[in-house]
Structure 1
Amino acid sequence: MTSQPAGGGGRTIVALHAHPDDEALLTAGTMARAAAEGHRVVLVVATDGAQGLADASAYGAKGDHLAATRSRELAASARALGVARVVELGYADSGSDPQMEPDPAGATRFARVPVEEAAERVAEVLLEEGADVLLTYDSHGGYGHRDHVHVHHVGAAAAQRYREASGLPLRVLEATVPRDTICRALDLVGRVYRFPDAFDRASFDRAYSARSEITHRISVRSHIRAKRASMRAHASQTSDSAGDARTLGMLLRIPRPVYDLVFGREWYRDPALPAGSPVRRDLLADVEAGS
């Protein structure tokens, strides 16, 4: 990922995520590696994360609202990764309940925001930054959260707006995981730790992307400490209101050698590349080539 544009200087990578902590799970290693190699990394988060399950003891003792706590956690995660700028769009978290709640006073739940409206705001960031790469989500929205699916559509529309407004190319890479890999990892964790009753292991059999769709496999082993620090920054999301460990909390309990193995790579899908294309190991190789 060491590609540099003609004339020196690094590239600009914008990572679009749905909630505070999503960056830690999907793209943290890539972001840390890019920043360490001299590229500018910008993190855009769509929602306030206020619907996230959390143990109130992680924030309530200070009289804080969850959204305020998660914003501080996001800032700490960004510092751990070397992120140059964080943009919080401020939409309300849409939640994961089957029936989405009404909009809170003065805000709109992200999944209800028209794609073009949100895309215009993301495109503004891309234009301000002169972005070279946009990281977003695959069409499944990873595990299917409505806000993640919306990020996929908003990211695609924002990229198109940017290209039309700037006349410049923009590489869109959809953060994902080969579903067979994540299922093996979850089964490994399940041998050691008991998943919460609400955790739907079977849903991951339908999530993320098939291995044949993966176009980029990025090694982040050298930046695993930063990725782990990013995860730890989101302390409010490690357990639920009953004190049971959530996915993030369970992942942080994995012994370090296993953790390094599971999280030492990150995967992306480039929708512009034909099926069956060779898997790239450099996030920016195609950008330098101008393809």
Structure 2
Amino acid sequence: MDAMTRTLVAFHAHPDDEALLTSGTMAKAAAQGHRVVLVVATDGALGLASDDFRTDGDLAATRLDETRASAEVLGVDRVEWLGYADSGHDGPVPENPPGRVRFCRAPVEEAAERLAAVLTTERADVLLTYDAAGGYGHRDHVRVHEVGARAAEIAGTQRVLEATVPRDTIARAVRLAAKVYPFPKEFDPTSFERAFTARADITHRVDVRRHIAAKRASMRAHASQASNDGSQSGDRTLAAFLRIPRPLFDLVFGREWFRDPSVGRGGNGTGADGIRTDVFEGLA
């Protein structure tokens, strides 16, 4: 990696998304002295949570506070919310709340201009976003891909990396975990066999094992999303992940993967298999 300080912007759909896919990479960059910015598109108000987190009627504020707590343990320098409302995952998109727009209804160009303003101000070198399918298909995640790609064009950001996981690896890990941990009834383990990215298309693999404590703390910061309202037969997905014993947790979450849509695998990375191991590698 070049000796100069870089700026990494991680763009996510909801509070807590950063914890699973990019928190290790963010913590690693921060520890190396780079500037790290977290941008969330929505307030996460339609996320599942127990009544304990809904008593004040403002789950959105709670989730944004959790995001700031997550960012603090990762060493993030700035947190921005683009101002959009959560679109929800299943069923028809709810009506827009007063004064705001569901993210999946937001015009791509308008949302991209909002994100591009952050990228330009920060002189971002790398933008982390999602693949065209939105990972596992959430409509807000798909919109993150669309908005992120356009914002990078507007701002002239050097590199866009799509946060992902190898499809075969995650499917196998989920199958194994399902034998031990009771996932909630809304969780479909087979969905991961159709989600994310084929291993052959992944261009970057980042070793974050030295920052696994920060990644785990980032997950733990999103307490509302690990809560159970009593109607579920088992742990929420995030809670189940946090219950994994530390050695296995390190194995499962100790690497983070990305795809650079502008280049092929090419065999020109620093890893033994040709995959790049640093998100800043090769930047001008």
Mapped to 2, the partners of 1:160 and 1:42 lie a distance apart of 18
Q: Which residue does the alignment assign to 2:175?
A: 187
Mapped to 2, the partners of 1:242 and 1:65 lie a distance apart of 20
Secondary structure of 1:134's counterpart equals: strand
Question: Following superposition of structure 1 onto structure 2, how do residues 143-222 of structure 1 map, counting pairs within 5 Å?
Answer: 143-163=136-156, 170-222=158-210
Which consecutive residues of structure 2, in runs of 5 or more, have no partner in the other structure? Answer: 268-273
Q: Given the superposition, is the C-alpha separation of residues 243 and 72 from structure 1 closer, same or farther in structure 2, using an over 3 Å criterion?
A: farther
Q: CA deviation at 1:99?
A: 1.1
Q: Which residue does the alignment assign to 2:251?
A: 261
Mapped to 1, the partners of 2:178 and 2:160 lie a distance apart of 34
Secondary structure of 1:142's counterpart equals: helix
Q: Which residue does the alignment assign to 2:20?
A: 25
Mapped to 1, the partners of 2:51 and 2:172 lie a distance apart of 32
Give the superposed CA RMSD: 1.2
2:40 corresponds to which letter in structure 1? V
Q: CA deviation at 1:194?
A: 1.5
1:60 corresponds to which letter in structure 2? R
Of residues 72, 84, 93 in structure 2, which corresponds to 1:100?
93
2:69 corresponds to which letter in structure 1? A
Q: CA deviation at 1:4?
A: 2.5
1:233 maps to 2:221: yes
Q: CA deviation at 1:199?
A: 1.1
Secondary structure of 2:161's counterpart equals: strand
- Give the TM-score, by structure 1 length: 0.92
- Cα pair 2:265 2:275 within 8 Å, conserved: no
Q: CA deviation at 1:286?
A: 1.6
Mapped to 2, the partners of 1:223 and 1:56 lie a distance apart of 32
Q: CA deviation at 1:240?
A: 3.9
Of 93-102 and 209-218, more deviation after overlay is shown by 93-102
Q: Which residue does the alignment assign to 1:166?
A: none
Q: Which residue does the alignment assign to 1:284?
A: 280
What whole-Å deviation, never above 9, does each CA across 1:32-81 have from its counterpart, x for those lacking one? 00000000000000000000011121x234x2510010011001000010
- Cα pair 2:203 2:264 within 8 Å, conserved: no
Question: Following superposition of structure 1 onto structure 2, how do residues 238-253 of structure 1 map, counting pairs within 5 Å?
Answer: 238-242=226-230, 244=232, 245-253=235-243
Secondary structure of 1:285's counterpart equals: coil
Secondary structure of 1:207's counterpart equals: coil
- Give the TM-score, by structure 2 length: 0.94
Secondary structure of 1:50's counterpart equals: coil
Identity %: 62
Secondary structure of 1:286's counterpart equals: coil
Which consecutive residues of structure 1, in runs of 5 or more, have no partner in the other structure? Answer: 164-168
Q: CA deviation at 1:285?
A: 1.0
Of residues 104, 109, 113 in structure 2, which corresponds to 1:111?
104
Mapped to 2, the partners of 1:106 and 1:4 lie a distance apart of 45
What whole-Å deviation, never above 9, does each CA across 1:101-158 have from its counterpart, x for those lacking one? 1111111000000111100000000000011000000111111000000000000000
1:220 corresponds to which letter in structure 2? V
Mapped to 1, the partners of 2:237 and 2:136 lie a distance apart of 13
Q: Which residue does the alignment assign to 2:29?
A: 34
Mapped to 2, the partners of 1:205 and 1:274 lie a distance apart of 23
Mapped to 2, the partners of 1:205 and 1:188 lie a distance apart of 13
Mapped to 2, the partners of 1:53 and 1:107 lie a distance apart of 20
1:44 maps to 2:32: no
* Aligned residues between the structures: 276
